[in-house]
Structures are given as structure tokens and as C-alpha cells.
Amino acid sequence: MGRRTGWTSALRETVVRSAVGRGVAVAVAFCVASAGLPGTVARAAGAADVPAYAFDRDARGVTAADGTADAVRLEPGTTYRSALGGSGKAYYRLELDDASNAYVSVTAVPRAGAALASGDGVKVSVRNADGSSCSFDTVTVGASRDPHPVTAWGAREILAGKGLCQEAGTYFLVVERTETGTGAGQPWELELAPVSEPPSAGGAGATSVPEVWDSATPAPLAADPVDRPGGGGFSGATAVGQGVWRDEIVPGQTLYYKVPVDWGQQLYAAVDLGSAGTGSGFVVPALDLTAYNPVRAEVAGASIGYGGTRKSASLPPLPPVRHVNRYAPTDPARSLRFAGFHYLAVYLSGHVAERFGEGPYGVELRVRIGGTAQAGPGYEGRSVPGGLFETGARSGQGASADGRGGAGAGAGGAMTAVAVGGIGTGSALLLVLGVWTVTARRRASAQIRASAQNPTA
């Protein structure tokens, strides 16, 4: 879990922080080239063969501008893939109305093997046309100093009668490096995910955040663990519900899961790291568990050391998800402002391999959902992308206890996520070969019929 600095604003307001192939060669080329396509899990160089961050398969490639004049426009609901150089800033343009809230998450992926310092990371801000800041967030790789994905976010919120960034017009997303380690000059890949939240019906409504909520830590789940491989990135996060979910992880890898949490509900999560078979010593930090809300803003996290014996990291007790939480002065309450699929990221430090071997290591993710689903705020319009702040729980269409979810389970559908997540490069290759074989047979048959009808041809 990277070290994160506070959320600020210019006026110190509370601001949230392709065609079928013609032969086997084409199919093979597809398989090889897929390692560089968005959404595929590339393999990082190194003895441990660590899976890299899996970018969204549908991400649109964009080139970052070094100033506002040439900044490319980002559209809500579209995921983008870009890059940030080792020096300077990256600019992107946003065209916003005067009613909707806009959020942009930025997942930065350092190059594998880069030598980093604990302060290496990214700064993300949203600025108006005059250059004034609407929001600011910084996240770093933290004490592990490992090159692993880190996510920060920017926001333009509509706060009636308060300060800057309330009008319709052109805004800019600015991403820059903190540049402290010896690997600071190397470019980092970026995944950008802008979204839009419509205004709530009836205006702002209540702005007072309840001070009393159930902050007790529940008893550990006694359920038997179920095998459920984690995803390689936010877009491919594995949908799970309440239960105990088991997988394996190698040092330097991050696993992603998503959990439906409705209005009024509370998310509890912990992760257990199994014992090592060999080695000695102690790694600090070793295992991170981080929770993110539906717009990929960090909610809370936990980090533990590892000495080769079974260890567990638990999120602190989190308040219920409420629309009014956006008026809370600090996180985690402030980030728990949306219903929808919340993300859990499990990261194992690469330094564990130095002490205890390359693994893999067994992990168990324990998820509990507390509270009763309640009615939402009543939005005037739909989010972009649609269904982002829904789980389907109150209509019985949410993710089930086994994490498979129901059809149309909001935010892309839990079942869709599980099904798509199970299709790998091997399956894609078989599909291409199968289609090519059928196509070749049809062409051969057509040629035989043509020859029979026209022998002199």
C-alpha cells in the first residue's frame, strides 16, 4: 500500500480527493502480439515471472500532452491507456457541465525492475481553465520501494455556492511524477478512467454526516475457502460476495477483486498469507490490502510484515456507504460516498522472494458485508458509465454469496466479470484456430463446387 498525502483544494474546501486470420501464422501472431494488448496480463522480466498489471482490453490509446494547448479530451465512461515520461507533466482535457460531478482515476504502472525510492509515485490534480486547482492527490509506492501499480484520483465536484470549479467549461487533468528514485527517468504506463455522477434529486439534501455507526469488528468468517483467482487489474477484477476466497500469489504481484456494497452497507475485509516452506528473516512491509470505491478512489488499507509464518491483514472498520459521506472531513468516510462495486487489491512485496523464495504463496481473502441495503439518493439522470453506482442487491440481481453474481449485476455485471476473466490467451488462440479451420474448409468446398460447374476454368 503506497503512502498517500492529503486531499486539498485552492480554497481549502472539502473536495474528494480484429478480422479472422488467413492462416495458422496469423493465429500465432495473434497469440504473440496479445501480450502487448490492453487487458492482457504481460509477464514482467525476472526469475519470478511476475504477472504485470492487466490494462482494460477496451482501453483507447492516447498521447499525453506537455501543456494545455494540445491536451486530448477524455470522455466519461471510456477508459484510456497512456504514458507518463520521467520528467514533466501530462495534460488531458475535460469538458464538464455545471451540474454533474466528475472523477478521474489514474493507475500508474512503473516499469518492472525499476529502482525506486519510497517517495516515487504520481501527483494527480484537476484544474480549471485558469489553472486553479479543484482537487489534488498524491500516491507513492511506499516503504516496499517495489515497482507496482499505484492509483490516485482527481475530482471536480459541484458544491453549491462554494468557490472555484463550479461552472461549466474546460478543465484539465494533470498527472506528474514525484521523481525521487534512481528509476525516476523511466516512463510509466497509465490507465485513466473518467466517470460522471449526476446530481441528486432535490438538491444537495443533508450535509451533516452521522457520527454514530457500528464500528465493532465482526467475528471472523467460519466459511470454507473457495478457489477464486484474482484479476490482474481494475477492469478484470474478480467479482466476489461475502465468503472466503482462495488463490495463489507470487512476490511482486497484485490481485484485484470487486465486491458489491449497497447504500447503508458496510464492507469488512481481511487477507491471510500462508506460511513459507523455506527461508528466514522478516520483510516489512510484505502484504498490502487496499480498498477502493467504485470510481477507484482509495478508501482504506492495511499493511503487515512477514516472517515466513501465516499472517493476516485486516481493513479497519469502515462506516456505512452513504451519499452524505462526501461531506465528511476525512477518509475513509469521505470516500464511502457511492453504492456499487468496491475494489480490493492484494499486493505481495517482491522482497518476500529474497527471503522466502519465489512462491507461489497461498492467500485467502475474507469478505463480509454488514448492514441492510437501503434506497439511494435518487439521481437526476444516469451515471456515465451507466450502472456505476448500483449493485442490483435490492432487486435480487447483485453478486451472490459465491461471488458469481446475477445477470446485470450493476457496474458491468458480476457474472460477466467472472466469465470474461476465465478466458485466457490459450482460449483465444483456440478460438482463432477453430474459426480459421472452418473458414478454410468452406473456401475449399466452394472451390470444388466451382470447378465442377466450370471444368475449363
Which CATH number characterizes residue 357's domain? 2.60.120.380
Among 154, 171, 205, which residue terminates a domain?
Answer: 205
Report the pLDDT value the prediction gives residue 117, as an integer from 0 to 100: 92
The answer to whether residue 270 sits within a structural domain is: yes
Same domain, 90 and 223: no
The answer to whether residue 150 sits within a structural domain is: yes
Same domain, 338 and 219: yes
Write out the E strands in 110-149. Answer: 121-128, 133-140
Same domain, 213 and 160: no
d(CA 17, CA 138): 10
CB 448 within 8 A of CB 440: no
Report the pLDDT value the prediction gives residue 4, as an integer from 0 to 100: 65
The answer to whether residue 455 sits within a structural domain is: no
The answer to whether residue 40 sits within a structural domain is: no
d(CA 386, CA 326): 21
Report the pLDDT value the prediction gives residue 394, as an integer from 0 to 100: 53
d(CA 195, CA 134): 16
d(CA 17, CA 225): 35
Q: Beta partners for 291?
A: 300, 344
Same domain, 283 and 180: no
Same domain, 214 and 195: no
Same domain, 320 and 172: no
Same domain, 238 and 320: yes
Annotate 385-418 with b (16+ C-beta within 10 A) or e (fewer).
Answer: bebbbbbbbbeebbbbeebbbbebbbbbbbbebb
d(CA 142, CA 4): 8
Q: Does the bond joining 198 to the residue before it have cis omega, within 30 degrees of 0?
A: no
- pLDDT tens, position by position, 259-292: 999 999 999 999 999 999 899 999 999 999 999 9
Same domain, 91 and 137: yes
Same domain, 91 and 156: yes
d(CA 321, CA 262): 7
Structurally, the chain folds into a number of domains equal to: 2
> What are the φ and ψ backbone dihedral angles of 24, each rounded to 5 degrees?
-65, -35
Report the pLDDT value the prediction gives residue 109, as an integer from 0 to 100: 97
Residue of 249, 309, 311, 247 whose CA lies nearest to 279 = 309
Q: Which domain holds residue 68?
A: 1-17+54-205
| Phi-psi group of 194: left, alpha or beta (phi > 0 → left; psi -120 to 50 → alpha; rest → beta) | beta
Residue with cell 437501503: 374
- pLDDT tens, position by position, 40-78: 333 333 444 899 999 999 999 999 999 999 999 999 999
Spatial neighbors of 142 by CB under 8 A, at least 6 apart, are 1, 2, 3, 118, 285, 288, 303
Same domain, 260 and 271: yes
Residue with cell 457496474: 411
Q: Does the bond joining 294 to the residue before it have cis omega, within 30 degrees of 0?
A: no
The three cell numbers of residue 325 are 459521506
With a cut of 50, list the residues of the chain below it in pLDDT. 7-48, 395-457
Report the pLDDT value the prediction gives residue 202, as an integer from 0 to 100: 73
d(CA 248, CA 230): 9
d(CA 16, CA 155): 6
d(CA 453, CA 352): 71
Neighbour tally for 246: CB within 10 Å: 16
Spatial neighbors of 399 by CB under 8 A, at least 6 apart, are 239, 240, 241, 259, 260, 391, 405, 406, 409, 414
Angle, helix 24-33 to helix 425-453, in steps of 10 degrees: 160
Report the pLDDT value the prediction gives residue 219, as an integer from 0 to 100: 84
